[in-house]
């Protein structure tokens, strides 16, 4: 007996509504897009160079435990696959993917043990600045500061100046004078192909300001510059503060 036309229509409609086997195995486009990138920039001073002579040959010794951040970390956040990264003082790490929006970013050390946790309060690509905690002898419990790194908040042709120290810093940038509080950031135009005066000082009312950096900043077309003021955490430093300047293409 031939199926009735109405029954055939119901059968065809049911087949159309069945989920496709191939689409269930592929990630949805919105799932791929719902991720931001994060890079880590540890700042501080390298420990003194040490070496020993064995069989007439000089060998560099490993840095004392805790004197530098872990050389290798794993970034774990949400349900995304953990990302292994290398860390080096004064250099931004490669980018790791993290779920978009608020949440915790857990960092594990070389052994896989928890090192520190960074809490996000919004969405967007990030720089995570890391340093020793104030007065701490090691990197066991670092402090962190999150800086937007997407090209909307940190576009081409800009200087992003961050005060990652614990005190207010006096800044001369070109002809502008800025009092930059601890933990704060300013964004300024930095024209390509020309030098801009850049001076930094700190101090108190009794002793006055003491300059700890004097120079110029410049960058090429298509670049942006990140300048991070941080504590000089070496042994008996001559200056209490230092600045790290990093130029990069704005991609």
pLDDT, tens digit, for every residue of 151-199?
Answer: 999 999 999 999 999 999 999 999 999 999 999 999 999 999 999 999 9
Collapsing DSSP to helix, strand or coil, 220 comes out as: coil
Residue 245, pLDDT score: 98
- Residues 60-76: tens digit of each pLDDT: 667 677 789 999 999 99
Collapsing DSSP to helix, strand or coil, 32 comes out as: helix
With a cut of 60, say whether residue 213 has pLDDT above it: yes
The fold of the 33-48+56-150 domain, in CATH, is: Immunoglobulin-like (2.60.40)
- Of the pLDDT bands very low, low, confident and very high (cuts 50, 70, 90), residue 33 is very low
Pairing, β 35-42 against β 51-54: unpaired
Are 232 and 241 spatial neighbours (Cβ–Cβ below 8 Å)?
Answer: yes
| Mean per-residue pLDDT, 215-242 | 92
| Mean per-residue pLDDT, 6-35 | 47
Residue 239, pLDDT score: 87
- Residues 101-158: tens digit of each pLDDT: 899 999 999 999 999 999 998 889 999 999 999 889 899 999 999 999 999 999 999 9
Q: How far apart are CA 89 and CA 2, in angstroms?
A: 78
Residue 2, pLDDT score: 52
Alpha carbons within 13 angstroms on the beta-carbon side of residue 243 total 24
Are 96 and 38 spatial neighbours (Cβ–Cβ below 8 Å)?
Answer: yes
Q: What are phi and psi of 93, to 5 degrees?
A: -75, 175
Residues paired with 129 in a beta bridge: 41, 145
Residue 251, pLDDT score: 77
Q: Provide, rounded to the nearest whole percent, the portion of the chain with pLDDT above 70.
A: 81
- Residues 82-101: tens digit of each pLDDT: 999 999 999 999 999 999 98
Mean pLDDT for the chain overall:
85
Residue 117, pLDDT score: 97
Q: How far apart are CA 136 and CA 139, in angstroms?
A: 7
Q: Does domain 152-251 have CATH number 2.60.40?
A: yes
Task: Give the H or E element holding residue 97.
Answer: strand 96-99
| Mean per-residue pLDDT, 214-218 | 97
With a cut of 90, say whether residue 201 has pLDDT above it: yes
For the chain, residues classed under CATH 2.60.40 are 33-48+56-150, 152-251
Pairing, β 35-42 against β 126-131: parallel
Which residue has better confidence, 131 or 204? 131
Residue 50, pLDDT score: 63
Residue 48, pLDDT score: 67
Q: How far apart are CA 169 and CA 96, in angstroms?
A: 32
Q: How many CB atoms lie within 10 A of CB 241?
A: 21
Q: Is the pTM of this model over 0.85?
A: no
With a cut of 50, say whether residue 27 has pLDDT above it: no
């Amino acid at each position: 007996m031939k199926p009735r036309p109405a029954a055939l229509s119901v059968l065809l409609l049911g087949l159309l509504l069945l989920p496709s086997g191939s689409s269930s195995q592929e990630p949805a486009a919105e799932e791929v897009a719902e991720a931001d990138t994060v890079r880590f920039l540890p700042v501080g001073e390298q420990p003194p160079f040490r070496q020993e002579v064995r069989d007439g040959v000089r060998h560099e010794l490993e840095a004392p435990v805790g004197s530098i951040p872990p050389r290798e970390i794993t970034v774990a956040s949400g349900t995304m696959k953990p990302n292994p990264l290398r860390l080096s003082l004064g250099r931004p790490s490669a980018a790791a993917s993290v779920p978009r929006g608020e949440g915790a970013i857990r960092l594990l050390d070389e052994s896989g043990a928890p090192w520190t946790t960074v809490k996000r309060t919004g969405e967007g690509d990030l720089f995570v600045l890391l340093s020793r905690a104030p007065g701490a002898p090691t990197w066991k419990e670092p402090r962190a500061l999150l800086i937007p790194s997407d090209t909307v908040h940190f576009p081409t042709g800009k200087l992003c100046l961050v005060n990652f120290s614990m005190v207010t810093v006096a800044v001369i940038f070109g002809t502008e004078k800025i009092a930059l509080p601890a933990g704060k950031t300013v964004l300024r135009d930095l024209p390509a192909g020309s030098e801009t005066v850049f001076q930094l000082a700190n101090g108190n009312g009794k002793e006055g300001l003491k300059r700890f950096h004097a120079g110029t900043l410049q960058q090429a077309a298509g670049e942006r510059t990140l300048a991070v003021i941080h504590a000089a955490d070496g042994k008996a430093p001559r200056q209490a503060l230092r600045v790290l300047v990093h130029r990069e293409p704005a991609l």
